[in-house]
Amino acid sequence: MEANLRELVKRPNVYFKLSEIMQMGTDGTPITDPAVYKPRLDYLMDIFGEDRVVFGSDWPNGNAVAHLDVVVKIVRDYFGPKSRAVQEKFFWRNSIPAYKWIKREPSQASL
């Protein structure tokens, strides 16, 4: 897996959706402890960088593992100590170049 990720990192137009990381425990329930995910999130942040990670819920498909509120709590806990700029990049700013959003309403935020 690491070799595949390293190849993806070389492609500047590849973004990584960090919010689809939920794991199931041995008892068949989702692992909701944010500390469990920190090493993996740290690793992915290190190799992709703050400019190429995005939030995405994969809703409603993600509900097969955990409800959206659980996923949001995990990534909020992870990004909480980071600067506001890094949080904004992850939660919305990076989605603009990743998905090539165009502004359709004057009230929409832009970069």
Q: Which residue has the higher pLDDT, 63 or 37?
A: 37
Give the mean pLDDT of 17-45.
87
Alpha helices (H) in 16-104, listed in sequence order: 34-48, 68-79, 84-88, 95-99
- Of the chain, the percentage scoring pLDDT greater than 70 comes to 89
- Report the chain's mean pLDDT, rounded to a whole number: 86
pTM: 0.81
**Confidence (pLDDT) at 20:** 72
> Any idea where the domains of the chain sit in the sequence?
2-99
| Structure tokens that stand for 24 in this block | 């199931």
pLDDT in tens, 42-82: 999 999 999 999 998 766 665 556 677 888 888 999 999 99
Q: Which one, of 17, 44, 34, lies nearest residue 75 by Cα?
A: 34
